[in-house]
């Protein structure tokens, strides 16, 4: 939908918009990956009653 509005400004603007979307998606997918792994590792450490290791994992991530 947004592409239809952006194309009204020209092909160069649409290309720039596409490039920024790719950069944005890459950045947030990396951050989401760290968050998902953090939840898993902290959950395992809390389940094993390793509170110190869970806190260290949060700090390092």
Tens-digit pLDDT profile for residues 8-17: 898 899 899 9
For the chain, how many structural domains are there in total? 1
d(CA 4, CA 37): 37
pLDDT digits (tens, 9 = 90+) for 8-60: 898 899 899 999 999 999 999 989 989 999 999 999 999 999 999 999 999 99
Threshold 0.75, pTM exceeds: no
Give the largest CA-CA distance in the chain: 58
Q: Taking the C-alpha atoms of 24, 28, 29 and 31 in order, what is their torsion angle to the nearest 10 degrees?
A: 150
Domain holding 20, by residue range, is 2-60
């Amino acid at each position: 939908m947004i592409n239809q509005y952006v194309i009204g400004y020209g092909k160069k603007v649409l290309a720039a918009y596409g490039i920024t979307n790719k950069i944005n998606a890459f950045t947030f997918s990396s951050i989401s990956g760290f968050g998902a792994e953090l939840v898993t590792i902290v959950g395992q450490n809390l389940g094993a009653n390793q509170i110190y290791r869970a806190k260290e994992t949060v700090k390092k991530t």
